[in-house]
Amino acid sequence: MFPERLRAIRRGRHITLDQLADALSQNLSPNEKPNTASQIGNWERGIRTPSYIEVRKLSEFFDVSLDYLTGKTELDEYDLGRLFLSGKRLTFNGETLSSQDRYEVYQLIEGYLHGRQTRRPDVPIDHQEELDLGYDDEKE
């Protein structure tokens, strides 16, 4: 299951074997050797099995659990808070979100969830609530 998951997630993110090898070879400890495209290709074909350290690096790089990579669980949950606070590049409808964008969207979601806790479930919402984003309505 691991070889198939690794190949699928790498290809799904449009990353070449060389690009993945370079990314995994960043910040190596003194006794670690750099990863190679050939090595990762062998993992994907099931010819070789990576060490726990290598699987952990893959897990961190792709932001998935070890259980997902090994086939123990399905990837059916994402923690948006963790995603927004991560250093990963995020886009929305093709537009890259800046640090400020990420922070503001994070705050919007957090505010929504907090407000949801105070709503009464027995009172139907039949109107559009106003959302104040802090922009002034200026008339020209």
pLDDT number for residue 125: 61
Between the CA atoms of 83, 88, 93 and 97, what dihedral angle is there, to the nearest 10 degrees? 90
pLDDT number for residue 140: 45
Of 117, 9, 24, the residue nearest 64 (C-alpha):
9
CB atoms within 10 A of CB 107: 11
Domains and CATH numbers, the chain: 2-69 (1.10.260.40), 80-118 (no CATH)
pLDDT number for residue 124: 64
Q: What is the pLDDT along the chain (140 residues), one digit of tens a residue?
A: 899 999 999 998 899 999 999 999 988 888 888 999 999 999 999 999 999 989 999 999 998 888 888 888 765 566 777 777 777 788 888 889 888 888 888 888 888 888 877 776 666 666 555 555 555 555 44
**Tokens in use for 115?**
């407000």
pLDDT number for residue 40: 96
pLDDT number for residue 54: 92
Locate tokens 């027995």: which residue?
122
